[in-house]
Amino acid sequence: MHGDELPRLTNHELPNEERVAAFVRSFLQQDSRAGQLLNPSNMLLYENGYRPAIGIPNDPEANGNAFGDLAEYFARKVYLDLNCIQPFSRAAFEVFLDQLCDWGYHTLTAASRIIEMYHLEIEGRFHFPTELAKIPPGEEQEEFALCWLNDAVLATEFRMLAWIFQGLFGAPYVIPQKRSRP
């Protein structure tokens, strides 16, 4: 996928939920890495009632809203997160992306501990149900399933928002550790 083929979102479209949802759907279809959000493992977790627990300052299902599938839930999450960045500026957007990175780090750290403990094979021909079954039922299995979904949601949202950031500000988002210090 070449960056020129990915959809764009303008600053004026950010408050329009329908436009943001159309952008999200298009991005998920056109970017193979982002499209992994909708893989069978994540869809199954979502269908079984799992919801991200990290990185949800704006819960898409608050106030009784319910979404039948992960793509709709995710589109609402992206819309809510974009619109919580107030006042909207490059600096405020960077702060939000920095927070997404931090949440992603915490999710990966928790998942990595379980992966190592149970010698899960996440490379190559990974089969989520097989690997999940290696973890005894209970708290750690639930934690791993939740981390798996959290990681997928956070990584996909980060990828999308970093693309929006670059389109809006004409420069790529840079993680805090690599930003030049004055």
Q: Residue 57, preceding bond cis, omega within 30 degrees?
A: no
pLDDT of residue 132: 95
How confident is the model over 61-77, as pLDDT tens digits? 998 889 999 999 999 99
pLDDT of residue 1: 45
How far apart, in whole angstroms, are the C-alpha atoms of residue 40 and residue 36? 9
How far apart, in whole angstroms, are the C-alpha atoms of residue 144 and residue 168? 35
pLDDT of residue 182: 57
| Burial status of residue 23 (CB atoms within 10 A of its CB: 0-12, 13-18, 19 or more) | buried
Contact 180, 21 (CB under 8 A): no
What pTM did the predictor assign?
0.92
How far apart, in whole angstroms, are the C-alpha atoms of residue 163 and residue 167? 6
Q: Which residue has the tokens 């919580």?
A: 84
Tens-of-pLDDT digits for all 182 residues of the chain? 445 589 999 999 999 999 999 999 999 999 999 999 999 999 999 999 999 988 788 899 998 889 999 999 999 999 999 999 989 999 999 999 999 999 999 999 999 999 999 999 988 788 899 999 999 999 999 999 999 999 999 999 999 999 999 999 999 999 988 887 65
| Burial status of residue 46 (CB atoms within 10 A of its CB: 0-12, 13-18, 19 or more) | buried
Contact 105, 151 (CB under 8 A): no
pLDDT of residue 179: 86
* Residue-by-residue DSSP string for 127-180: -HHHHHHTSPTTHHHHHHHHHHHHHHHHHHHHHHHHHHHHHHHSS----GGGSP
